[in-house]
Amino acid sequence: MSDSKAAAAARTEQGARNLLMRIAAAMVLAPLAIAAVYAGGWFWIVPVTAVAIGLCLEWLTVIHAEHERPAMVCGPVALATAGVSFGLGWIEVSWLAVAAGLVAVVLLSRQARRWTAAGFLYAAAALMASLLVRRDVEMGFVALLFVLAVVWATDIGGYFAGRGIGGPKLWPTVSPKKTWAGAIGGFTASLAVALLVAIFDPQRGDPALALRTGPLLALAAVLSIAAQFGDLFESAVKRRFGVKDSSHLIPGHGGLMDRLDGFIAAIVLAAILGVLRGGADGIARGLMIW
């Protein structure tokens, strides 16, 4: 066998192993995530807070700021305080903790101050958006599960369409493997999810909570695009600092940033849309009820 054929066979074998690891990890993590979303309360707050702390630390590792010990401590402490305060119902204290954490990170960082601050904001936005969307008793579970389903469908549809169809690259200087076929495949899969949710709407019997097909499709489209931009953003940050994976925490996926980049962008946008339509106390309802 020639060297080129051997290399191609090795890449194929490696790709198959990575796919199996991705599937195995997803089969474990997805049910746990859905269970936590369903349970809500501290069952959701604790893991989300832990993930936000992990995101903050991974970001510092990606930008080669592990030596910034004060930032490595202040950021996680502020995020932990925000999460616990949210669980106790002290929402204002959560925001104060985020603000104080940002100030501390900025003042105590000696190098790469802007990148360090950006990493803290990245983790804090993921934390607060995830908690605020789930907070709504009536629609929190439905809204958050919808965002997760759209992001997962975008990821899965993009992966298989990109691998199966290939073709022109989406943004080769940022993410060489992503194709237009993958982007369109992920987008189409997200619309399919929205259509299924509309068809099997669990709130169909309650006119005040019933979901409408048109707005759901539009919402899925916007969130899918946001998720793909979130993926590209994370790729751009890693490329800027010459890093392939944010960590090796999740088999087949890399780190938390690698796995959650699309979700973070989508959930932050979802929270913003929910606030604009439903106010601070009706974010999930404002997001889903049109």
Q: Does the predicted model carry a pTM greater than 0.85? A: yes
* Residue 176 phi, psi (nearest 5): -60, -25
Q: Would you say 55 and 128 are in contact if contact means Cβ atoms under 8 Å apart?
A: no
So what's the pLDDT on residue 252? 62
So what's the pLDDT on residue 243? 87
Q: What is the pLDDT of residues 230-248, one digit of tens each?
A: 999 999 999 999 888 777 7
Give CA angle at 33 (99, 275), nearest 5°.
Answer: 45
Q: What is the pLDDT of residues 50-62, one digit of tens each?
A: 999 999 999 999 9
Ramachandran region of residue 242, left (φ > 0), alpha (ψ -120 to 50) or beta?
left
Q: What is the pLDDT of residues 196-221, one digit of tens each?
A: 999 988 777 778 788 999 999 999 99
3-state secondary structure of 289: coil
* Domain ranges across the chain: 45-115, 136-290
pLDDT for residue 111 is more than 90: no
Assign 3-class secondary structure to 90-134: CHHHHHHHHHHHHHHHHHHCCCCHHHHHHHHHHHHHHHHHHHHHH
The span from the CA of 2 to the CA of 133, in Å, is 55
